[in-house]
Every structure is written in C-alpha cells, then in structure tokens.
Structure 1
Amino acid sequence: MYENLSSTLVYQCHKYHNLKSSNSGILSKKHQAAVKELLQNQSILLSRPDKGAGWVLMDKCDYISKLETLLSDETKFQCLSKDRDQTKQTELKIINLLKDLKNRNLLPPTQFERLTPCGSQPPRLYGLPKVHKPNLPIRPVIDMSSSPYHAVAQWLVSVHNQPESRL
C-alpha cells in the first residue's frame, strides 16, 4: 500500500505544479486580460496561497523582504557560500556513490541508470502567503524536484516502505 503512495504523491505534485490555473475557464476574456496585465507588472507578485485555492496579490518588495527575513534566521538557514553553486559537485558525488554501489553489486545497472542525476538544477526557495493569518506571513517552500537528490530520495523512500527493506 505505502510503496505506491510516495510515487503517487510526487506525480500529483508535479501534475499540480504544471497545471495552468483552472480559474481561466470561468473567467471572462476581460478578466483574463486583467490577469495578464497584472502578471506583466514588475512591482507586484501574483501567487497561490499556502492553503486553499485562489490567487494572492502582493507587493513584490514586501514579498522579497519577508523571504529575506526568513533567510536571515540562522537557526533555520545557513549561508554556505555566496559565489558558488555546488549542484555540479553534488551531482558528481552522488554519481560516484552510485557507481560504487553498482560495482559492489548492491545496485542493479538499470537502477543505477534511473538514479543517476543529470542536468540538475539547484533547489529553489519560494514562499506561499498565509492568507489566514494577519500581515500575510510567508511559508517557505524548497522545491527539490530538479535537484541532484530528487531521484535518490524517491528511491530511498520506496525502499524504506518495502517490508524487510534493504539496498
């Protein structure tokens, strides 16, 4: 039962993330034009709320300052380096670990191919406004779907959820 849950959840998340707004079918052409105009305005941000459906319209400077405040909390986030993106190095470390597992016959070649990261992107941080709270605080979300860790993390969850799991 649980082995399919993680892959189903990931699939649904990708599906939801790639969907266009379902509201466009009920909006008139006038409203659709107004939304397009709002999206072109660089001083505002159009986002989805952290709970429920709909759109949230925020001042972009306010959104950025709230995210910067979150990032400045050293108990939750730590600045590792300002200039370097370590995605490629992380990708290479994961590839070398997977090669080692394959060479020791702990990982089948087909699994190795599926888990090997290629063309990864750094994880992306964004915030969803909490519309049910005063002053619209931001809930941070880290999108790891295109990171080097994504395929391996999915696989580990599936292995963990199997009875008597082992590599």
Structure 2
Amino acid sequence: MEQIFNESKTFKQLDEDPTIQKEDKLQRKLLHLKNIGFLTDGEYKFTRPVGSQPGKAYGLPKIDKDGVPLRSIISACGTFNDKLSKLLANKLKHLRASPTIVIDTFKFVKELQNL
C-alpha cells in the first residue's frame, strides 16, 4: 500500500486534515438549504455531518494478476458527505426505475433482437 500511496500522480500528502473544514462548509450549506425550504427538518438532521472522519484507505488483492498486486480502495463510510450521498441516492432512485434505462447488456441485446 505504501508503494501505491507514494505515486505522486494519484495521491498527494496533505499537511493537515481538511475534514473539519469540509464538514463546517457542508453544515453551513445544508443550513442555508433548510432555511430556504429546499430541505425538510428531517432531511437536514439526517444529512448534517457531525464528528466526521477522513476516508479509510485499504487494499484488496487482485488474485487474477501475477504477483497479486493490490487494488486501492477508499471507503467513504463516516466521511462528511456520507449521509448526503445516501439522501441523494434515495431521492434519485426513481430515475433508475425508468423503462428506458438499460439494466445490463444482456437485456439490451434481447431488446434489440425483439426489434
């Protein structure tokens, strides 16, 4: 993992953790959206970040590759925008239920064959 994190094209080392500043900025934005009526009180309370942590990095082995290199994973659980992403996913899930959305390539090919 150290070798992966030392790649300057992908990762850079920060002098300080920006999590608290990002949490404060998101809290102010969410409060503004609640005050103008864009968010309900419940949505505001759900999405308001408190005690956020930076993302956690770990590696999963690519067992099908020679030398079993690691695939870097950054987990966003507990980050400042974790609950906001859950709210947005819930609000937008109806868009994925449209009959014009292709679920997978097999369904797409079958629909083409039916045409």
Give yes or no for the alignment of 1:78 onto 2:3.
Answer: no
**Residue 138, structure 1, aligned to residue 70, structure 2:** yes
Q: 1:111 aligns with which of 37, 43, 47?
A: 43
For these two proteins, the number of residue pairs brought into alignment is 95
Whole-angstrom CA distance in 2 between matches of 1:152 and 1:122? 15
Map 1:20-99; keep pairs closer than 5 Å: 67-79=1-13, 81-82=14-15, 84-99=16-31
- Deviant stretches of 4+, over 6 Å: none
Q: Which amino acid aligns with 2:23?
A: E
Instruction: Tell me the CA shift for residue 148 of structure 1.
Output: 0.7
Residue of structure 2 in register with 1:5 after alignment: none
SS of the residue aligned with 1:89? helix
Whole-Å separation in 2 of the counterparts to 1:162 and 1:97 = 25
Aligned alpha-carbon RMSD (Å): 1.4
Q: Structure 2 counterpart of 1:74, which letter? A: S
- What SS is found at the alignment partner of 1:136? coil
Counterpart of 1:109 in structure 2: which amino acid? D
Displacement of 1:143 after TM fit? 1.0
* Residue in 2 that maps onto 1:151: 83
Deviation at 1:119, TM superposition (A): 1.2
Provide Cα deviations, 1:120-163, integer angstroms capped at 9, x if missing partner: 11111110112222111001110110111100011112222234
Alpha-carbon offset, residue 77 of structure 1:
2.2
Alpha-carbon distance between aligned partners in 2 of 1:106 and 1:78, rounded to the nearest angstrom: 36
TM-score, normalisation: structure 1: 0.53
Structure 1 unaligned residues grouped into runs of 5+: 1-66
Q: Identical aligned pairs, as a percentage?
A: 28
What is the CA–CA distance in structure 1 between the aligned matches of 2:22 and 2:51, rounded to whole Å? 12
Question: 1:74: Cα distance to partner?
Answer: 3.1
**1:93-140 superposed Cα distances (whole Å, 9 cap, x missing partner):** 111010010011000011100111111111111101122221110011
Among 51, 55, 60, the alignment partner of 1:123 is 55
Unaligned runs of 5+ in 2: 96-115
